[in-house]
């Protein structure tokens, strides 16, 4: 019997404010992982400026890809394919990665695989734990998304819940700005919260009666902003650490409760987290505790794999590649790409799902 050939994928990510390239073998082994962060550029604006992000991507992308190939010790001839994030994200930012990946695939005559950014975030868990296999429940919480998914198979997701308004990371970013902690907000609130009392304030936890796995963080965000404005107007001292800690607790309580309830209902034995908010100290701890209390296996990516990177795109790209997915050279950026054409919504029990439902 012939030995199974290794599959080596060059992956490119440019959906928001990180330009990244990586070489990943067999979806699990990261041979190189280059990230060029734009945080120092956007910090003076207090958030990502899309126009500037696109320009910075175009400057950084060649160096990132070249660096990823060199660090992995491979040339274009050693690759089996090129994977690239084509959505969701900022259109101008996505176009840089998509355009670059297409040119490379065309010039080197390599197959091209378009990858969904959230498929990438979830797949970071396959790099973290080489034994991880579907099915499992995954909480994806990033700057643009809060999704609770049942991972039925590689790249096949039942959407259990999603955000009705602000994504969890967006709420962190807005609260951070209001507290004067700046951008990027998540890590700043995380740091401040460690010095504060999470029970100092009782902030609301939204419940959505007809879709109990959905999230809503705008009420919580408004409650925090009102408290801050009130304190400022009445000249009260702003207890930044206590507000940060209480806000963080309110977010994390909801994320953990929804996730472990989803594991109970689906019968999944494994829970994972993904996306930038998965880097949050309290979330990582509380989810771990809730899982161990229920005897669930808990997988969480290392911090570098939580926020945007290309290694996760290489992992997701590999599973799409071996499933036969190929993108044409007319691949375009899709800023509002839904979570795959195989997107399904979970309906009550594991046997009942409806293809294509929103």
Report the interface residues with ligand KG4, using CB under 6 A.
16, 142-144, 169-170, 172-173, 184-187, 190, 275-277, 279-280, 307-308
Contact by Cβ (8 Å): 287, 272: no
**Residue 169 contact, options Zn ion, ligand KG4, none, Cβ 5-8 Å cut-off depending on partner type:** ligand KG4
CB of 164 vs ligand KG4, minimal distance in Å: 17
- Site size with Zn ion, rule: CB under 5 A: 2
* Closer of 263 and 277 to ligand KG4 (Cβ): 277
Binding to Zn ion (CB under 5 A) within 269-328 occurs at 308
Structure token digits, residue 91: 């259109």
Helix 240-266 × helix 168-178 angle, to 10°: 170
> For ligand KG4, which is the closer residue by CB, 27 or 143?
143
CA distance 86 to 83: 9
Binding part of the chain for Zn ion, among 141-149, 188-196, 295-303, 347-355 by CB under 5 A, reads 141-149
What tokens appear for 153 in the block?
């198979």
C-alpha–C-alpha distance, residues 141 and 274, integer Å: 6
- If the CB atoms of residues 143 and 161 are measured against ligand KG4, the closer one turns out to be 143
Residue found by looking up tokens 């998914």 in the block: 149
Name which of ligand KG4, Zn ion, none residue 166 binds, using a CB cut-off of 5 to 8 Å depending on partner kind: none
In the complex with Zn ion, the residue whose CB is nearer, 110 or 124, is 124
Which residues 6+ apart lie within 8 Å of 44 measured at CB?
none
- Residue keyed to tokens 């176009």: 95
Per the structure block, which two tokens stand in for 147?
């999704």
- In whole angstroms, the minimum distance from the beta carbon of 342 to ligand KG4 comes to 20
158 sits near Zn ion (criterion: CB under 5 A): no
Nearest residue to 104 via CA among 50, 72, 64: 64
Using CB under 5 A, list all residues that contact Zn ion: 142, 308
């Amino acid at each position: 019997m012939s030995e199974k050939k290794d599959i080596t994928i060059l992956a490119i990510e440019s959906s928001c404010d990180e330009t990244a390239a990586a070489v990943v073998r067999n979806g699990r082994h990261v041979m190189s992982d280059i990230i060029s962060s734009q945080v120092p550029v956007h910090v003076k604006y207090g958030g990502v400026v899309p126009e500037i992000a696109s320009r910075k991507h175009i400057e950084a992308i060649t160096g990132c890809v070249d660096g990823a190939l060199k660090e992995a010790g491979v040339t274009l001839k050693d690759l089996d394919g090129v994977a690239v994030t084509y959505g969701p994200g900022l259109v101008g930012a996505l176009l840089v990665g998509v355009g670059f990946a297409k040119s490379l695939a065309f010039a080197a005559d390599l197959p091209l695989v378009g990858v969904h950014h959230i498929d990438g975030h979830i797949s970071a868990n396959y790099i973290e734990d080489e034994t991880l296999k579907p099915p499992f429940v995954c909480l994806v919480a990033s700057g643009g998304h809060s999704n609770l998914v049942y991972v039925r198979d590689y790249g096949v997701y039942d959407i259990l819940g999603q955000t009705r308004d602000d994504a969890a990371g967006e709420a962190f970013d807005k609260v951070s700005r209001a507290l004067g902690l700046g951008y990027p907000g998540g890590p700043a609130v995380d740091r401040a919260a460690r010095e504060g009392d999470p029970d100092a304030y009782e902030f609301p936890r939204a419940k959505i009666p007809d879709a109990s796995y959905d999230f809503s963080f705008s009420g919580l965000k408004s409650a925090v902003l009102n408290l801050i404005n009130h304190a400022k107007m009445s000249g009260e001292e702003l207890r930044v650490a206590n507000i940060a800690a209480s806000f963080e607790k309110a977010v994390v309580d909801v994320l953990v409760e929804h996730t472990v309830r989803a594991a109970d209902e689906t019968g999944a034995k494994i829970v994972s987290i993904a996306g930038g908010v998965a880097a949050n100290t309290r979330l990582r701890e509380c989810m771990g505790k809730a899982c161990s209390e229920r005897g669930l296996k808990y997988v969480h990516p290392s911090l570098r794999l939580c926020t945007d990177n290309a290694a996760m795109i290489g992992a997701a790209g590999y599973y799409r590649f071996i499933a036969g997915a190929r993108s044409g050279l007319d691949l375009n950026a899709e800023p509002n790409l839904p979570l795959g054409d195989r997107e399904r919504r979970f309906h009550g029990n594991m046997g009942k799902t409806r293809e294509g439902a929103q």
